[in-house]
Amino acid sequence: MHDLATAPRVLATPGALRLQSERWRAAGLSVALVPTMGALHAGHRSLVARARQECDRVVVSIFVNPAQFTSGDDLARYPRTLRADLALLAAEGVHAAFVPDAGAMYGSGFATAVAVGGVVTSTLEGAHRPGHFDGVALVVAKLLVAARADRAYFGEKDAQQCAVVRRLAGDLDTGTEIVVCPTVRDADGLASSSRNVHLSAAERAQALALPEGLAAAARRFAAGERSGPALAAAATAVAAACPDLIVEYVAVVDEDTFEPLAQVDSRARILVAARIGATRLIDTLCLGAADAPTTAFVVGATSPVGSEVAPAGRSRTCSVSS
Ligand code: AMP
């Protein structure tokens, strides 16, 4: 954080962003892009901090992208806190905020689609939110084209999105390096998310079954379990104890292809999605990531796979729900 916060320059159109980036690049400065939908929290801040460390100039986009919301999602309900967001970006020393409206991104006559094919977009989030990754691919392609960034920063919490974006950036030769940053969690262990503000205290207590379920799977993995379905079942069992938690999927997949794994060799990704009330939450961690220990999360105990440890002594959450 900076003592003297300078407000980021606010850019409203892709053309303005492109011009700004070209100026920076012409001056020999490296450019970072951090795409967000706003309602910024500690997770976003970690991406910004990494971008500030690694690049000369940082632009954060704030755009609640209608194209990636599916019929089951509530676009209108998504939190919007632009003033607070800009204050946070100023405090973080961000140089520019790209804040377009939908018209600036998808003008009249807009007719272009961007679709990443394969299992990585058809499974899990892709299956439960049809069209979601088309919207993500479209907006990310537009942002990468406009920002001409050297690096773009994304969060591991949205691991499938990261895999889609990596594929897109590589296939389109955007020249932007995709950097994936570890998941940041609130003090109780829930992955920080803009959607968490919608949770009541009782809902939040049950939502903790997501990280706790992942932690249970991580403990099984550390104990030698290598069956993908058995590891998924360990997480599912925790969530199943929470009556109001509606689990959409728990899956153990290959980190890059997102193909389901019957057997884990050395590492795999476990992902969970669930609804509680009107709120949909996702969480994930990497099993066997010795080189990326901060990606693991273990509740209430030290673990060979994790360095982020929740407050010790907290017990299972569902017994306290209403
Ligand atoms: P969003 O505003 O939810 O679209 O997120 C913008 C970016 O922040 C995405 O790359 C997310 O993966 C990332 N992000 C969201 N929550 C977290 C978190 N808890 N930890 C790290 N990154 C996050």
Same structural domain, 18 and 130: yes
The pLDDT value recorded for residue 71 is 75
Same structural domain, 165 and 277: no
pLDDT digit string, tens, across residues 230-287: 999 999 999 999 999 999 999 999 999 999 999 999 999 999 999 999 999 999 999 9
Residue 18 has pLDDT above 70, yes or no: yes
Residue 194 has pLDDT above 60, yes or no: yes
How many residues are recorded in the chain? 322
Task: Return all residues near 76 (Cβ < 8 A) that are at least 6 apart.
Answer: none
pLDDT digit string, tens, across residues 158-180: 999 999 999 999 999 999 999 99
Same structural domain, 273 and 308: yes
- Which of these, 214, 205, 101, lies nearest to 157 by C-alpha position? 214
- Which of these, 41, 40, 286, lies nearest to 184 by C-alpha position? 41
Q: Determine, yes or no, domain membership for 4.
A: no
Same structural domain, 212 and 134: no
Which of 181, 204, 232 is the last residue in one of the domains?
Answer: 181
Q: How many domains does the chain have?
A: 2
The pLDDT value recorded for residue 290 is 62
**Which residue of the set 44, 95, 132, 198 is catalytic?**
44
The pLDDT value recorded for residue 289 is 79
Share of the chain above pLDDT 90, in %: 86
Q: Determine, yes or no, domain membership for 3.
A: no
Does residue 143 have its Cβ closer than 6 Å to ligand 1? no
Counting other chains too, the contacts that 18-27 makes at CB distance below 8 Å and 24 or more residues apart are: 18/145, 18/146, 18/147, 18/148, 20/59, 20/96, 21/59, 21/146, 21/147, 21/148, 21/149, 22/148, 24/56, 24/57, 25/148
Ligand 1 atom with the smallest distance to the CA of 39 is: 2
Query: Ligand 1: which residue has its CA nearest to atom 13?
Result: 155
pLDDT digit string, tens, across residues 105-161: 999 999 999 999 999 999 999 999 999 999 999 999 999 999 999 999 999 999 999
Single-letter residue type at 154: F
Token digits for 86? Answer: 């800009």
The pLDDT value recorded for residue 4 is 59
Same structural domain, 173 and 83: yes
Task: Return all residues near 193 (Cβ < 8 A) that are at least 6 apart.
Answer: 41, 43, 157, 281
Same structural domain, 114 and 225: no
Which of 152, 181, 210 is the last residue in one of the domains?
Answer: 181
In this structure, what CATH number is given to the domain that contains residue 291? 3.30.1300.10
Same structural domain, 152 and 236: no
Q: Could you tell me which residues are beta bridge partners of residue 306?
A: 303
Instruction: Look over the chain and give the mean of its residue pLDDT values, rounded to a whole number.
Output: 90
